[in-house]
Structure 1
């Protein structure tokens, strides 16, 4: 089928207008071929013509205040359109697969699993120094070299495993377990596990060598593992409890006057793909905030930057009430760190003026607890 035949393929149109006769006359005068003219009702007709005349008919109908639409297309052009549509889907599918294949050859996320002492941030810093970042080609990443470098730079690492799963570089490690700190003790005696002022000693077994009112240091002998007097002295395993006043200090800085910058609750964000250093935005923020916090999320293929609006607000609080509430907060924080049987028996505070409406509140807490260590 040549180009002329493609343009001259037949269509069936439907016209809705009051001036039906005038439209047909104008079509005839302008040399527009019409066939199979059917009058459906007083204001609705249909006929067949060639597609190349459709725009001319459309202008005539519009001039007469009517509406026109194509109801049917005829000829081989329909098959060609379907083939072109299928071909476009096929090409799009191939293109999509190619893009997926290309993207799958890069590392888009780094997952780091550590234990107690080492943080993922420390491992990520080492990776940055080695030039290992998101968006790198997998072929340029040597997992064995990464393992060797991390082991050389971190003495805490006992065992490390690095692997690439999909588009994610996964690093998991085990840390060396250091032996617990040993007090200066001998087996069978009871020693102080921390500094304190002794209040009461309950020696269930053995002989108390400290007395109430003594100031002891961590590791000092409290109950010796011996019983008896004179020639009847014999060794035993010391046991008992030693209640002592121990001392803790916690501090916090607070603003009691002036201005502070706080979030308003409004936020906006950018969402984009990072393709070889170029950003392809899926959503672009207006970023109309004058003051804001900027939080970046760099995990995965899709990146996000969130902007939180901030504004300055005047602060003018009652200083004494602020000190009281801050001390109570410090007390609750300390209580969570203490053993369940420990008791805070006294609280003192010191307030330092730092300037610009800011003060430092230092809480000094006396805690009664058992300091015996076997």
Structure 2
């Protein structure tokens, strides 16, 4: 490979002599010259190209650079291609990362349940931004969050680069009056998640779907087949919609 750096260009003109004389006066050394009708093909040292451009642009000659040869130009092309390859490698690494990592964690549905209670579970399981997807046990995470007081149900999934945690909270019906001879009834349509009977008989269980007005805790105990003992219905009932 030649260490000399040359540039070949084509100039559109009928007056070849004027161009050659002008370039000579500008200090440009023409190494090769090919004359054709309406165009002139020249090979010059690449270090003279600034002078060539200044002259041609001053006199408004139209020209096109058709070739650049030598170590300098070869190095530039190599570096350009190397930069492109490096960019492709970086893009590939980012693409692989995007397909294997979690970049964001989104928790929704919280009103009464503390955000920190879920954060503590994530921390204990070493789940955070940029965690590997394969290291996240979805089922285990869902079961642990479901144990939090006030959580009726939870869905956990990974979509793209995001870990999604959607919580449905229990609807607490409150602690009922100490004395209630009529029983405890549902205030709205709901799915029972927990029922804590302090006095009376539970008429439903966790998982039951009930309509508004349904009897939840009856105001009596059944002592045997023939004996019912009236008592005040008392307890706590939780549900979700």
The TM-score range, normalised by the shorter chain, is: 0.5 to 0.7
Residues 78-133 of structure 1 show CA distances to partners (whole Å, capped at 9, x for unaligned) of: 543443233112211222233345554333364x8xxxxxxx5238965565336x
CA distance in 1, matches of 2:75, 2:151: 70
**Conserved? CA contact 1:108–1:167, under 8 Å:** yes
Find the counterpart in structure 2 of residue 167 from structure 1. 161
* 2:131 equivalent among 129, 138, 141: 138
2:6, 2:113 → 1: CA distance?
69
Unpaired runs of at least 5, structure 1: 113-119, 184-374
Query: Aligned equivalents of 2:86 and 2:22: distance in 1?
Result: 45
Shift of 1:58: 0.9
C-alpha separation between the residues in 2 aligned to 1:50 and 1:64? 21
Q: 1:35 aligns with which of 16, 31, 34?
A: 31
Q: CA–CA distance in 1 between the matches of 2:209 and 2:55?
A: 96
Maintained 8 Å contact 2:7/2:45: yes
Q: Matched residue of 2:147: which SS?
A: helix
In structure 2, distance between residues paired with 1:106 and 1:123: 25
| 121 and 39 in structure 1: CA distance in 2 versus 1, 3 angstrom threshold | same
Equivalent residues of 2:11, 2:62 under 8 A apart: yes
Aligned residue for 1:156, secondary structure, equals strand
Query: Are the structure 2 counterparts of residues 62 and 109 from structure 1 closer, same or farther at C-alpha, using a change threshold of 3 Å?
Result: same
Evaluate the alpha carbon distance shift between residue 164 and residue 83 of structure 1 in structure 2; reply closer, same or farther with a 3 A threshold: same
Aligned ranges 1:1-374 → 2 under 5 Å = 5=3, 8-17=4-13, 19-42=15-38, 44-77=39-72, 79-103=74-98, 104-108=100-104, 110=106, 121-122=109-110, 126-127=114-115, 130-131=118-119, 136-138=129-131, 144=140, 147-154=143-150, 156-157=152-153, 162=156, 164=158, 167-171=161-165, 176=193, 177-180=207-210, 181-182=214-215
Aligned partner of 1:194 in structure 2 is none
Count how many residue pairs are aligned between Structure 1 and Structure 2: 169
CA distance, structure 1, for counterparts of residue 112 and residue 103 of structure 2: 14
CA distance in 2, matches of 1:72, 1:11: 6
For residue 60 of structure 2, give the secondary structure of its aligned residue in structure 1: coil
Task: After superposition, give the CA deviation of every residue in 1:258-279 in whole Å (9 maximum; x if it has no partner).
Answer: xxxxxxxxxxxxxxxxxxxxxx
Q: Which runs of 5+ in 2 are unaligned?
A: 123-127, 169-190, 194-206, 217-241
Normalising to structure 1: TM-score of the pair? 0.36
TM-score by length of 2: 0.52
CA distance in structure 1 between the aligned counterparts of 2:75 and 2:162, rounded to whole angstroms: 44
Task: Report if aligned partners of 1:123, 1:150 keep a CA contact under 8 Å in 2.
Answer: no
1:297-324 C-alpha deviation (Å, 9 max, x unpaired): xxxxxxxxxxxxxxxxxxxxxxxxxxxx
